[in-house]
């Protein structure tokens, strides 16, 4: 799944996420750090960024681990149909 629609789907469930790296946010290019580490461009374009802060809890991480795969599964049919 290309990362573009994923943050929108996650936001609907209350999880804040961003596509790509902070230095290329909004640009349709693979994050430079992922490219530099050898991540293939298609995989890099499918990356999302989640941040943790001092107030983040284990429950927040558990929620993300539940919501991200579910959102990806919901988006896969739409992405496949658009190809």
Please state whether beta strands 48-49 and 18-19 pair in parallel, antiparallel, or not at all (unpaired): antiparallel
16 catalytic per annotation:
no
Annotated catalytic residue: which of 2, 5, 10, 23?
23
Rg (CA), the chain: 13
For 34, the token pair is 């992922």
- List active site positions: 23
């Amino acid at each position: 799944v290309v990362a573009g629609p994923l943050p929108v789907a996650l936001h609907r469930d209350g999880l804040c996420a961003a596509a790509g790296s902070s230095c290329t946010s909004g640009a349709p290019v693979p994050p430079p750090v992922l490219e530099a580490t050898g991540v293939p461009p298609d995989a890099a374009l499918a990356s999302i960024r989640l941040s943790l802060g001092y107030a983040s809890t284990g429950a927040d991480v558990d929620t993300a681990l539940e919501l991200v795969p579910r959102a990806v599964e919901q988006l896969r049919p739409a992405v496949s149909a658009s190809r």
